[in-house]
């Protein structure tokens, strides 16, 4: 299961994870993986089981069944080895209020087995990277703003240069400036560490992550790269065409490019007719479609493709029954 | 071991810098100062079979029941409530290292409080004593009493740590500690007062009653009698409570 130089195939592996509280099933048969150096978004509606999964991976909660491993080390069988390779920032990022930022990070570095001679240098480096050095190093954590507290949490996570970083809602409660800062910090980790981010903010995940894992009601419903999921979950591509001609003419021209095209009238304004055109996934792209319509003699003013972003992927994935999800 | 050392130094430093610890220290020294002062007054009024230091140590249960729970209540309950304990347990430090570090730091503070109390008999002796008469300071009773409170304190602090481990509320932890320590302190006396001699079926209670007589242990220590049975009792009690604390911590899901 290892690649070159002892590097495992998966930095994080969840295999059939199940967690039950009596008759309540929090997560069931959840399997996914994160490759080394990859940034993965972990998505799901409230109560889907995201935090439960993160806690199991971090070793602060035991799974009822299944196997969680970090860098090839079982979290349940060898927690110390797994914890040495991993850093976890829990939701709400609990921090001791009465310690100063620097002394807290020094304590955490010592507890995370950073070599005694490197503790000061590592603390200085993460404080610099997280923009804490000048503005917060000597301040009590209890006096910090939410944004700086999150930075302290991320600095703590990076202290021991772990192979895996688990971040549970890292940007919750932050203002847009702070979100941008945290996003840049996470982006800078790409290729160096495997990062699993649980988040509600789809835009943020889309901006930062290479891959997404979507769960609903404790079960996996989709995982993969957003482009692959778009292809998987989007039955057809939709375009809006604004032209002088009506929907029938647009459809006739479109069918010369894609015989399975369908169209419907979507309104008219100042003699310009709006047509909603649906083509099967894999049909010509917007440029080719616009060129094709124009060369068929249509007077096209505007052609646009309807967005199918992560939000739509998320909605489509969480609408379908748990268990239909595929591994990629 | 490295984690234990790091955590012990951190916990001790936090305790010594905490306003709460200084408030508890003030309460302890006020209580013990008052008790010692009344013991000195009592001895000055009429001849007593005990010295002021012995008399003060006989009331060791006052700080044990009313001060120690204030020291131990926050060891785990506060951190469980705030979530910092879960964050601590995501580091490679083991639950055993965390429990032992917190226990030993709290015991160190407890020992420092009693060491500070030792100044009272010394000051009384210096200010009010007559040369050649050591009854006011009574060094034998002082060292014996200190040996007792520090040895039994291992188990008493461990009880407090265990109580703090099983709840998120520091107040509830303090109450649990108070009740448990009250039971432990009074158990020997209560069993002793039962008519064991007249009821044969209660004969088996004689031995445990003999082992649990806390005030008897104090007397033995204060008079320089070294009996291994109380040492075994307090050390096994300490290990049992700390073992249960480690299990409680490992079993907690946050």
Percentage of chain B modeled with pLDDT above 70: 86
List the A219-224 sheet strands across, edge first.
A86-89, A164-168, A194-198, A39-43, A211-216, A219-224
Q: Which residues of chain A form CATH 3.30.70?
A: 235-307
Please give the mean pLDDT across all residues of chain B: 86
Distance, in Å, from the CA atom of B59 to the CA atom of A231, rounded to the nearest integer, reads: 79
* Higher-pLDDT residue of B191, A247: A247
Residue of B nearest to A76 (CA): B250
CB spacing of B90 vs A83 below 8 angstroms = yes
Q: Which of A275-289, B98-112, B118-132 ranks highest by mean pLDDT?
A: B98-112
pLDDT of A202 above 80:
no
Distance, in Å, from the CA atom of B16 to the CA atom of A327, rounded to the nearest integer, reads: 54
Nearest to B84 among A80, A86, A94 (CB): A94
CB spacing of B86 vs A96 below 8 angstroms = no
**Which residues from B are below 8 Å from A60, CB to CB?**
86, 89-90, 253-254
Task: Please answer whether residues B166 and B248 qualify as being in contact, where contact means their C-beta atoms are separated by less than 8 angstroms.
Answer: yes
Residue A108, burial from CB neighbour count under 10 angstroms (0-12, 13-18, 19+):
buried
**Which residues from A are below 8 Å from B93, CB to CB?**
111
**pLDDT (tens digit, 9 = 90+) per residue, B199-215?**
666 666 666 666 777 77
Predicted pLDDT at B204? 67
Nearest to A90 among B87, B91, B93 (CB): B87
Work out the average pLDDT over A62-73: 92
Residue to mutate among A64, A96, A114, with most B CBs inside 10 A, is A96
CB spacing of B90 vs A80 below 8 angstroms = no
Predicted pLDDT at B201? 66
A4-85+162-231: CATH, from 3.40.640.10, 3.20.20.10, 2.120.10.30, 3.40.50.300: 3.40.50.300
Q: How far is CA B30 from CA A51, B36, B60, B185, B218, in A?
A: 48, 10, 14, 22, 22
Task: Please answer whether residues A239 and A297 qualify as being in contact, where contact means their C-beta atoms are separated by less than 8 angstroms.
Answer: no
Separation in Å, CA of A62 to nearest CA in chain B: 8
Taken in order B167, B173, B179, B185, the sign of the CA dihedral is: positive
Chain B contact for A95 (CB, 8 A cutoff): yes
Task: Please answer whether residues A41 and A223 qualify as being in contact, where contact means their C-beta atoms are separated by less than 8 angstroms.
Answer: no
DSSP string, B217-253: HHHHHHTT---HHHHHHHHHHHHHHHHHHHHHHHH--
Give me the phi and psi of A269, to 5 degrees please: -150, 120
Residue of B nearest to A113 (CA): B92
CB spacing of A110 vs B2 below 8 angstroms = yes
Percentage of chain A modeled with pLDDT above 70: 92
Residue B162 banded pLDDT, cuts 50, 70, 90: very high
Chain A contact for B244 (CB, 8 A cutoff): no
Please give the mean pLDDT across all residues of chain A: 84
CB spacing of A98 vs B18 below 8 angstroms = yes
Distance, in Å, from the CA atom of B51 to the CA atom of B242, rounded to the nearest integer, reads: 36
3-state SS class at A67: strand
Distance, in Å, from the CA atom of A34 to the CA atom of A270, rounded to the nearest integer, reads: 53
Work out the average pLDDT over A40-63: 89
**Which residues from B are below 8 Å from A110, CB to CB?**
2, 6
**pLDDT (tens digit, 9 = 90+) per residue, B97-107?**
999 999 999 99
Separation in Å, CA of B15 to nearest CA in chain A: 11
Q: Which residues of chain A form CATH 3.40.50.300?
A: 4-85+162-231
Distance, in Å, from the CA atom of A173 to the CA atom of A170, rounded to the nearest integer, reads: 9
Residue to mutate among B9, B87, B249, B251, with most A CBs inside 10 A, is B87
Chain B contact for A50 (CB, 8 A cutoff): no
pLDDT of B156 above 90:
yes
Separation in Å, CA of A178 to nearest CA in chain B: 23
Residue of A nearest to B82 (CA): A94
3-state SS class at A11: coil
Residue A328 banded pLDDT, cuts 50, 70, 90: very low
Separation in Å, CA of B23 to nearest CA in chain A: 17
Work out the average pLDDT over B166-181: 93
Distance, in Å, from the CA atom of A193 to the CA atom of A206, rounded to the nearest integer, reads: 18
Q: Where are the alpha helices (DSSP H) in chain B?
A: 2-17, 19-45, 52-58, 61-66, 68-72, 77-82, 84-88, 95-117, 119-128, 139-165, 170-193, 206-212, 214-222, 228-251
Task: Please answer whether residues B172 and B77 qualify as being in contact, where contact means their C-beta atoms are separated by less than 8 angstroms.
Answer: yes
Separation in Å, CA of A20 to nearest CA in chain B: 13
CB spacing of B86 vs A98 below 8 angstroms = no
A165 secondary structure, DSSP code: E
| Model pTM score | 0.79
Work out the average pLDDT over A281-287: 69
Task: Please answer whether residues A15 and A66 qualify as being in contact, where contact means their C-beta atoms are separated by less than 8 angstroms.
Answer: yes
Chain A contact for B87 (CB, 8 A cutoff): yes
CB spacing of B90 vs A84 below 8 angstroms = no
Lowest mean pLDDT among A61-65, A168-172, B145-149, B174-178: A168-172
Work out the average pLDDT over A51-80: 91
- For chain B, report the end-to-end CA distance as a whole number of angstroms: 25
Distance, in Å, from the CA atom of B122 to the CA atom of B141, rounded to the nearest integer, reads: 12
Residue to mutate among B11, B75, B91, with most A CBs inside 10 A, is B91
Tokens 């407890």 — which residue? Answer: B110
Q: Give the number of A-B residue pairs with CB atoms closer than 8 Å.
A: 57
Contacts of A27 (CB under 8 A, 6+ apart): A17, A18, A19, A49, A52, A53, A56, A215, A218, A219
Q: Where are the domains of chain B?
A: 2-251
β-pair partners for A197: A41, A167
pLDDT of A324 above 80:
no
**pLDDT (tens digit, 9 = 90+) per residue, A78-128?**
888 899 999 999 888 889 988 999 999 999 999 998 998 999 999 999 998
**Which residues from B are below 8 Å from A75, CB to CB?**
none
Task: Please answer whether residues A154 and A167 qualify as being in contact, where contact means their C-beta atoms are separated by less than 8 angstroms.
Answer: yes
Work out the average pLDDT over A152-180: 86
Work out the average pLDDT over A128-142: 84
Exposure pattern of B77-112 as b/e (b: 16+ CB <10 Å)?
bbbbebbbbbbbbbbbbbbbbbbbbbbbbbbbbbbe
Task: Please answer whether residues A69 and A82 qualify as being in contact, where contact means their C-beta atoms are separated by less than 8 angstroms.
Answer: yes
Chain A contact for B2 (CB, 8 A cutoff): yes
CB spacing of A84 vs B254 below 8 angstroms = no
CATH class in words for A235-307: alpha beta
Residue of B nearest to A109 (CA): B91
Chain A contact for B5 (CB, 8 A cutoff): no
Residue B71, burial from CB neighbour count under 10 angstroms (0-12, 13-18, 19+):
buried
**pLDDT (tens digit, 9 = 90+) per residue, B45-93?**
877 778 888 888 888 889 999 999 999 998 899 888 888 888 898 888 8
Distance, in Å, from the CA atom of A292 to the CA atom of B17, rounded to the nearest integer, reads: 77
Tokens 């978004």 — which residue? Answer: A41
Separation in Å, CA of B117 to nearest CA in chain A: 29
Predicted pLDDT at B198? 65
Tokens of A307: 């967005």
**Which residues from B are below 8 Å from A95, CB to CB?**
84, 87
Chain B contact for A80 (CB, 8 A cutoff): yes
Residue of A nearest to B83 (CA): A94
ipTM value greater than 0.85: no
Query: A82: part of which helix (H) or strand (E)?
Result: helix A79-84
Residue A295, burial from CB neighbour count under 10 angstroms (0-12, 13-18, 19+):
exposed
Residue of A nearest to B80 (CA): A94
**pLDDT (tens digit, 9 = 90+) per residue, A224-244?**
887 777 777 776 778 888 999
List the A24-34 sheet strands across, edge first.
A24-34, A12-21, A65-70, A73-74
Contacts of B174 (CB under 8 A, 6+ apart): B69, B70, B72, B73, B163
Tokens 């240069």 — which residue? Answer: A161
Residue B253 banded pLDDT, cuts 50, 70, 90: low
- Residue of A182, A164, A158, A157 whose CA lies nearest to A172: A182
């Amino acid at each position: 299961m290892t690649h070159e130089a002892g590097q495992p195939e998966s930095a994080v592996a969840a295999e059939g994870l199940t967690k039950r509280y009596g008759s309540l099933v929090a997560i069931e048969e959840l399997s996914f993986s994160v490759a080394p150096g990859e940034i993965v978004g972990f998505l799901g509606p409230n109560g889907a089981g995201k935090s439960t999964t993160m806690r199991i991976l971090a070793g602060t909660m035991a799974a009822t069944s299944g196997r969680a491993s970090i860098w090839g080390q079982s979290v349940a069988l060898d927690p110390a080895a797994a914890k040495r390779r991993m850093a976890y920032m829990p939701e709400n990022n609990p921090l001791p209020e009465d310690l100063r930022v620097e002394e807290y990070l020094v304590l955490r570095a010592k507890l995370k087995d950073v070599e005694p001679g490197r503790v000061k240098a590592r603390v200085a480096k993460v404080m610099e990277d997280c923009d804490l050095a000048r503005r917060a190093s000597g301040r009590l954590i209890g006096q910090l703003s939410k944004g700086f507290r999150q930075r302290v949490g991320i600095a703590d996570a990076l202290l021991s240069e772990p192979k895996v970083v688990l971040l549970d809602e890292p940007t919750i409660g932050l203002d847009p400036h702070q979100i941008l800062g945290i996003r840049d910090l996470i982006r800078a980790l790409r290729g160096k560490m495997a990062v699993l981010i649980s988040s509600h903010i789809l835009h943020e995940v889309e901006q930062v992550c290479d891959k997404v894992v979507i769960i609903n009601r404790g079960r996996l419903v989709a995982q993969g790269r957003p482009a692959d999921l778009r292809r998987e979950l989007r039955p057809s591509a939709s375009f809006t065409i604004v032209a002088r001609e009506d929907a029938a003419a647009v459809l006739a021209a479109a069918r010369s490019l894609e015989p399975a095209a369908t169209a419907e009238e979507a309104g008219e304004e100042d003699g310009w007719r709006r047509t909603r055109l649906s083509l099967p996934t894999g049909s010509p792209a917007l440029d080719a479609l616009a060129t094709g319509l124009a060369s068929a003699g249509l007077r096209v003013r505007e052609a646009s493709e309807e967005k199918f972003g992560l939000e739509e992927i998320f909605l489509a994935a969480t609408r379908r029954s748990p268990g239909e999800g595929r591994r990629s | 071991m490295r984690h234990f050392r790091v955590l012990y130094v951190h916990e001790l430093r936090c305790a010594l810098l905490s306003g709460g610890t200084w408030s508890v220290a003030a309460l302890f020294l006020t209580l013990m100062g008052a008790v010692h002062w009344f013991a000195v007054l009592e001895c000055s009024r009429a001849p007593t079979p005990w010295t002021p230091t012995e008399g003060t140590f006989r009331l060791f249960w006052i700080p044990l029941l009313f001060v120690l729970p204030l020291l131990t209540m926050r060891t785990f309950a506060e951190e469980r409530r705030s979530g910092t304990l879960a964050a601590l347990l995501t580091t490679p430090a083991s639950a055993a290292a965390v429990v032992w570090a917190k226990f030993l730091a709290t015991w160190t503070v407890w020992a420092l409080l009693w060491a500070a109390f030792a100044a009272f008999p010394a000051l009384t002796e210096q200010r009010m004593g007559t040369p050649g008469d050591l009854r006011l300071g009574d060094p034998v009773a002082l060292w014996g009493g200190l040996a007792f409170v520090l040895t039994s304190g291992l188990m008493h602090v461990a009880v407090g740590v265990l109580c703090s481990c099983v709840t998120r509320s520091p107040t509830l932890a303090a109450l649990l500690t108070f009740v448990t320590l009250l039971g432990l302190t009074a158990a020997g006396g209560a069993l002793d007062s039962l008519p064991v001699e007249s009821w044969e079926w209660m004969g088996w209670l004689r031995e445990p009653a003999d082992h649990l007589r806390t005030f008897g242990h104090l007397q033995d220590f204060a008079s320089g009698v070294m009996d291994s049975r109380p040492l075994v009792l307090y050390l096994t009690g300490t290990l049992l409570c700390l073992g249960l604390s480690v299990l409680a911590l490992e079993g907690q899901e946050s």
